[in-house]
Amino acid sequence: MAASAPTPHGTGFPTEGRCGYYVEKKKRFCRMVVAAGKRFCGEHAGAAEEENARKRILCPLDPKHTVYEDQLAKHLKKCNSRERPKPDFFIQDINAGLKDETEIPEQLVPISFLSEEQMGNLIKKLRKASEGLNSTLKDQIMSHPALHDALNDPKNGDSATKHLKQQASILGNIEKLKLLGPRRCFVEFGAGKGKLSHWVDIALKDAEKVHFILVEKVTTRFKVDGKHRKKNSVFERLQIDIQHLCLNKIPLLSKEKLPVVGIGKHLCGVATDLALRCLVETYAASCEERNEEPLAKRVKNDKTEKEINTLAKEGNEKNIPEKWTPVAGIVIALCCHHRCDWRHYVGKEYFRALGLGAVEFHYFQRMSSWATCGMQKTSLEASNISTKRKDKQNDGSEEHDDGGYRITDDSTESLPGFLTVEEKKKIGHLCKLLIDQGRINYLQQKGFNPALQYYTDPLVSLENVLLTALPNHSSSPETTA
């Protein structure tokens, strides 16, 4: 508790009905409401003479708050920081991948500590490993009529417009892959406010049996999924780390057995790998082992000619793939490769086949940040970006600053003097491409037809690559990787 004795220090007096404790660190009185007849709030009552007989101690579950020592046992039963029972779909590290301690050295020096020779060798390995890869992806910038009015709203600021353009393009790509249709479950990883699912729901109108599962590990403010009241749509939000999520233990999926479409907008680094493993290993593989046939497939097989004609007239039948699998498709906008992790990375086999391992992966993922923050900023520009970010955080905007070059912890250590800014950007893009190619290889090995494409203009977002995948027997996306 960072505070001084309860003295006014010449600052006047506390507001009526508020705590009379002067907080030295904040140079003001505590603003907590006090109980009738009391001078101090519960947090600061220990400083008052009338409360001296009772001692307050730090809560052992969360030292950010205190509790009366004689009420500790009672408090621990209701403290918000207490450990709560885990849901059935929580299975520790189920999507984490195998942990091999021998592969990862205890400590790797920062990039700025590498000699010019060491850096040169890393870049040679990167270029050799990237030979034959198409470093220029196909533009697949699309839109969708569901967002037409929102995109043309004159009240939109630059940030809102950029996010809407990305959501519209992702939605357009989902439709192009014939994944935007009835009788399926959309699982949005890293859902945040749930806006991507919101627009999918709007686009589907009154399509039958559409479910949404929004996965986010932190508490989120200004959520939009609670606003939906359509009788044909069901929204369920799960506060859980993807690393521990077992989809086939979710009652909604185990009961309905609808095919899953995995979606995400700017799914950061390691979360992408966890989501891929969650979908194609944990969920799809377990369903195949049990020989479960998704409900949507049975519905399609049992349809009468009249039902099929009705769906065709409504334009929904075109969005039903020829054959169903537990995972009908994946559409994820990639982000933050510098936050990947070797243990969780799904492309290990691909890296090993190229003669690369944990050490090279570590430096490549750090160097990947050069693609988006390799441009050095003046101190004034950096200050302006920092200020804008604080403003965004205060107004509840989404996490990613899509408008300009990011200034991250990596940028200060990633500037070897013998490389120009343009060279660093090219190397950063190569690192991203190689990491993504490992994901492509992984999905191919798991029976999917994956592709990488640009889904938005770099002026809208520097993180503008979309990963898509369909099961091999489905209508294939145009491969670009």
| Extended strands (E) in 46-169 | 56-58, 66-68, 138-139
How buried is 26 (Cβ within 10 angstroms: 0-12 exposed, 13-18 middle, 19+ buried)? exposed
How buried is 374 (Cβ within 10 angstroms: 0-12 exposed, 13-18 middle, 19+ buried)? buried
Which pLDDT belongs to residue 52? 57
pLDDT tens per residue, range 127-167: 999 998 988 899 999 999 999 999 999 999 999 999 999 99
Query: 465-471 and 327-335 as β-strands: parallel, antiparallel, unpaired?
Result: antiparallel
Report the alpha-carbon distance of residue 239 to residue 363 in Å, rounded.
Answer: 32
Contacts of 334 (CB under 8 A, 6+ apart): 266, 267, 272, 432, 436, 463, 465, 466, 467
Residue 323: φ, ψ to 5°: -140, 140
Which pLDDT belongs to residue 305? 40
Confidence grade of residue 91 (pLDDT, cut at 50, 70, 90):
very high
Contacts of 18 (CB under 8 A, 6+ apart): 29, 30, 31, 32, 33, 34
Q: Which domains does the chain have, with CATH numbers?
A: 22-77 (no CATH), 111-288+325-376+418-471 (3.40.50.150)
State percent of the chain over pLDDT 90.
49
Mean pLDDT, residues 404-420: 49
State percent of the chain over pLDDT 70.
75
pLDDT tens per residue, range 37-54: 888 888 887 665 444 567
Query: 66-68 and 184-189 as β-strands: parallel, antiparallel, unpaired?
Result: unpaired
Confidence grade of residue 276 (pLDDT, cut at 50, 70, 90):
very high
Q: Does the pLDDT value for residue 318 go beyond 70?
A: no
Q: Does the pLDDT value for residue 57 go beyond 60?
A: yes
Which pLDDT belongs to residue 288? 63
Least confident window among 45-59, 346-360, 383-397: 383-397
Least confident window among 129-133, 322-326, 373-377: 373-377
Report the alpha-carbon distance of residue 76 to residue 263 in Å, rounded.
Answer: 39
Query: 233-239 and 210-216 as β-strands: parallel, antiparallel, unpaired?
Result: parallel
Terminus-to-terminus CA distance in the chain, angstroms?
A: 56
Confidence grade of residue 195 (pLDDT, cut at 50, 70, 90):
very high
Report the alpha-carbon distance of residue 265 to residue 167 in Å, rounded.
Answer: 8
**Helices and strands (DSSP H and E) totals, the chain:** 15, 12
Mean pLDDT, residues 18-39: 86
Report the alpha-carbon distance of residue 412 to residue 153 in Å, rounded.
Answer: 39
Which pLDDT belongs to residue 272? 97
Which pLDDT belongs to residue 444? 96
**What integer best gives the mean pLDDT of the chain?**
80
